[in-house]
Amino acid sequence: MWDTIFPYLLSGISVGGQYALIAIGYTMVYGILRLINFAHGDVFMVAGIIMVYIAASGVPLWVSVPAVLVITALVGFLIERVAYKPLRTAPRMSAMISAIGVSYTLQNLVLYITGGLNKQYPAIPLISDSIKIGSATTKVVTVVTPVLVILLVVALVTLINKTKIGMAMRAVSKDFETAQLMGIKINSVISTTFVIGSFLAGVGSVLYFTNYPTVIQTSGAMPGLKAFVAAVFGGIGSIPGAVIGAFIIGIMENLIKGLDVILFKAGLITKPLGLAIFSDAFTFALLIIILVVKPTGLFGEKTTDKV
Amino acid sequence: MMKKEKKPALITWIIVAVIYAAVFVAEQVLPPTSMLFTVLKKGATYALVAVSMNLLNGFTGIFSLGQAGFMMIGAYVYGIFTIPVESRPVVYQYYDGGLIQFTVPVVVALVLAGLAAAFFAFLIGLPVLRLKSDYLAIATLGFAEIMRVLIQWNNMGPLTNGSNMLRLYPSFNDFNIKDASGNVTVYLSTLVPFLIAGVCIGLIVLLLNSGYGRALKSIRDDEIAAEAMGINLAHHKRLAFCISSFFAGVGGAMLAMYQTTVQAKFFTTAMTYEILLIVVIGGVGSVTGSVLSSFLFVAASEWWLRFLDEKQMIGNFEVPLLRNGFRLVVFSIIIMVVVLFFRKGIMGTKELPDLFRRKRKEAAK
């Protein structure tokens, strides 16, 4: 029984870690701007495409990976400056529509550049090798991901709690206007948030596409949405919440993918039910349930609306 | 005073009548393969869906992103109930001819499509409508994704044909009147979608101009004030959500007729985004704007900007950048410019009669 479940659990933890890296970007931006950055999943996809093209130019790995991360961070910065900054004082709906527009633009741009073809993601030595853990054979990236996620989260939490820019971020997310009155440069804080979020999405994309080795213009949409659900599940605005939510969603999703096999091996069903296709739907069902039962998520702060 | 109010309405009626007459005449005169008719048919479909979305997002202030899901429900219900019985074994070849072995008339199927979408909207609205702006957006979007997966589920196959497509049901071309030998005598394939969309949009306009419509607008402007004025928020939001979904369902059925095949995988979030962008370009809160921008959007994407996807030569000079997909890039940039710099869209919150009203006032000055 355990031997059947274990491989699914393992890939669940791995995918969960990759979602976590995207989810942090969502939760940080939402915490500060109260904006669902619909384009964040596409930034993640763009990071994948950039890696494809940089690797094709033949530069060594120790150049290409950092280059991808820097360019992705830059993309995030530019998106914020071009598409969100002009709408700072506009109603929230305008900013959200702008985010959807950016998502549409990024997808079409990548469609144009790639010609709509699946692009093979370059194999990254070390993390795309196979290893055997217990009964399961998997790629090294599966083991690396959760470790790397935890390291990055610790670093990020330290940044937010101990540094000056972190303090500014906390202040801005607490109260936008007052923070501005206290002399905090709102725009640079917001830019920093986008840079950090995009950087982490870049890291996530390197890990994710090592497991799912092709990139196409729509590859970012689903992981993006799931990461957002994870952020809501954990309590939007809370970084540990987003990470835990992402791991839970990653694991549950993979268990559902294997549910047919697991139930069959356990002797509960005699023929496959085709439940695997519900792995995506489950995430959204979970979202609706959590929004109804506990809208603030697992670790979210309770907010009160003032008239 | 009354006379002043009536004149713009009269002009509007005349414009609408002229458009319908022009569509009818054009269809008899021009060859039926003309791109114009593709644009008009798809435009009419999108116009209805865009107006139904505007009813929620623009007039009630509920930011819903479930439109593609409701369209999909409508398209499937239409397909399931109108495929002729003799064609069912071909369509449902993997499911022994399917579960349902009867057909209903097209009009009934259209209404059923709307009702089914409204029913699902009612169910999903119970939990979801309690949420605020962006949470509601993402929850409705999630609902659309769930429905898409559910329809494709193998065990739903006898009803929905699983992930295979539904086809062979009556499409727009079946509205053409033919003589005994099969030659078309009167072309109606473009006029009929115009009529369906026209009736539905007309109903939405009537609703918006009624007491209910004013209540919805007051909810958009200020929920708390509206509630204080005695408007039942939950009831009105649910009503708007169900009605919008009803017409999205009818629009989905029209899309099914336009495409002649239905497959769940086409009703993605990208479709919802596209419709939302149409609404934004037209002006959030303007029915006329949504209709206009639907036709503009469809015409630009299917017809006018097609040349951007092919290599173009000016003399011996090959225009750079032009290749497959460039059209969509140009399109995205136009949309971003509208979203960022022309936030009011084409019409703002004005309607067609308002245009004449303002002109009269200016003339009076």
The residue count of chain B comes to 365
| Burial of A260 (C-beta count, 10 Å sphere; 0-12/13-18/19+) | middle
State phi, psi for A212 to the nearest 5 degrees: -115, 90
pLDDT at site B358: 61
**pLDDT for A3 beyond 70:** yes
Q: Domain span at residue A203?
A: 2-293
The dihedrals phi and psi of A245, each to the nearest 5 degrees, come to -60, -45
Residue-wise pLDDT for A119-155, tens only, equals 888 888 777 778 887 777 788 888 889 999 999 999 9
- Return the minimum-mean-pLDDT range out of A14-23, A83-92, A192-201: A83-92
Q: Which pairs with CB-CB distance under 8 Å and at least 24 residues apart come from A54-62?
A: A55/A122, A56/A122, A61/A124, A61/A125
Q: What is the mean pLDDT of residues B87-106?
A: 84
What total number of domains does chain A contain? 1
- Complex ipTM over 0.90: no
> What is the Cα A138 distance to its own chain's centre?
22
Question: Quick check: A171 and A6 in contact, CB under 8 A?
Answer: no
Q: What is the mean pLDDT of chain B?
A: 86
Mean per-residue pLDDT, A240-269 = 87
Domain assignment present for residue A168? The answer is yes
For B300-352, the pLDDT digits (tens) are 888 887 777 777 777 777 777 777 778 888 888 888 898 888 888 888 778 87
Provide the chain B residues 112-171 that lie in CB contact (below 8 A) with chain A.
124, 127-128, 130-131, 133-135, 137-139, 141-143, 145-146, 149-150, 152-155
| Whether B9 contacts B353, CB under 8 Å | yes
Q: How many CB atoms lie within 10 A of CB B9?
A: 13
A143, part of any domain: yes
Q: Nearest-CA distance from B39 to chain A in Å? A: 22
Residue A53 lies in a domain: yes
In chain B, what residues touch A104 (CB-CB under 8 Å)? 270, 273-274, 277, 332, 335
- Residue of B151, B191, B146 whose CA lies nearest to B22: B191
Residue identified by tokens 């640079």 is: A188
- B224–chain A Cβ distance below 8 A for any pair: yes
| A90 contacts B153? CB cut-off 8 A | no
Q: Where are the extended beta strands (E) located within A181-270?
A: 214-215
> Helix, strand or coil for residue A97?
helix
Please check whether residue A117 touches B, CB under 8 A. no
Q: Per-domain residue ranges for chain B? A: 34-267
Q: What is the pLDDT of residue B214?
A: 92
| Chain-chain contact of A100 with B277 (C-beta, under 8 angstroms) | yes
Give domain status of residue A302, yes or no: no
Measured CA to CA, the distance from residue A17 to residue A227 in angstroms comes to: 10
Q: What angle do CA B99, B103, B108 make, to 5 degrees?
A: 125
If DSSP codes are grouped into helix, strand and coil, which group holds residue B206? helix
- In angstroms, rounded to a whole number, what is the distance separating the alpha carbons of residues A135 and B93? 41
Task: Please report whether residue A199 resides in a domain.
Answer: yes
pLDDT over threshold 80, residue A293: yes
Q: Within the 38-97 window of chain A, which residues sit less than 8 Å (CB to CB) from chain B?
A: 82-83, 86-87, 90, 92-94, 96-97
Is the predicted pLDDT of residue B2 greater than 50, yes or no?
no
A292 in contact with chain B, both atoms CB, cutoff 8 A: yes
Q: What is the rounded distance in angstroms from the CA atom of residue B74 to the CA atom of residue A239?
A: 40
pLDDT at B185 over 90: no
B4 touches chain A (CB under 8 A): no
CB-side neighbour CA atoms (13 Å) of B264: 22
Give residue B4's pLDDT. 52
Distance CA(B363)–CA(B365), nearest Å, equals 5
Give chain A's mean pLDDT: 87
**140-199 of A, contacting B, C-beta below 8 A:** none
3-state secondary structure string, A141-163?
A: HHHHHHHHHHHHHHHHHHHHHHC
User: Tokens at residue B188, please?
Assistant: 């109606």
Q: Does the distance separating the beta carbons of B335 and A105 come in below 8 Å?
A: yes
What are the DSSP calls for A130-142, one per residue? Answer: EEEETTEEEEHHH
Gap between the Cα atoms of A26 and A24, Å rounded: 5
Separation CA A93–CA A88 (nearest Å): 11
Q: Do B137 and A36 touch (CB under 8 A)?
A: yes
Q: Is the dihedral of CA B86, B92, B93, B95 positive or negative?
A: negative
Please state, as a whole number, how many other Cβ atoms lie within 10 Å of the Cβ of residue B133. Answer: 16
CA distance A17 to A8: 14
Q: What is the pTM of this model?
A: 0.88
A87, A100, A277 ranked by CB distance to B276: nearest? A100
Assigned domain for A305 exists:
no
Q: What are phi and psi of A121, to 5 degrees?
A: -80, 135
Name the packing angle between helices A2-33 and A221-234 (round to 10°). Answer: 80
Whether A43 has a pLDDT exceeding 90, the answer reads yes
Best-predicted range by mean pLDDT (B24-33, B89-98, B196-205): B196-205
Tell whether A301 is covered by a domain. no
Q: Is residue A48 part of a domain?
A: yes
Which residue of A93, A219, A257 to mutate against B (max B Cβ within 10 Å)?
Answer: A93
Contact B92, B158 (CB under 8 A): yes
* Nearest in space to A218 (alpha carbons), one of B299, B268, B332, B235: B268
Contacts of A30 (CB under 8 A, 6+ apart): A36, A37, A231, A236, A237
Tell me which chain A residues have a C-beta less than 8 angstroms from the C-beta of B331: 108
What CA–CA distance (Å, rounded) separates A93 from A99? 10
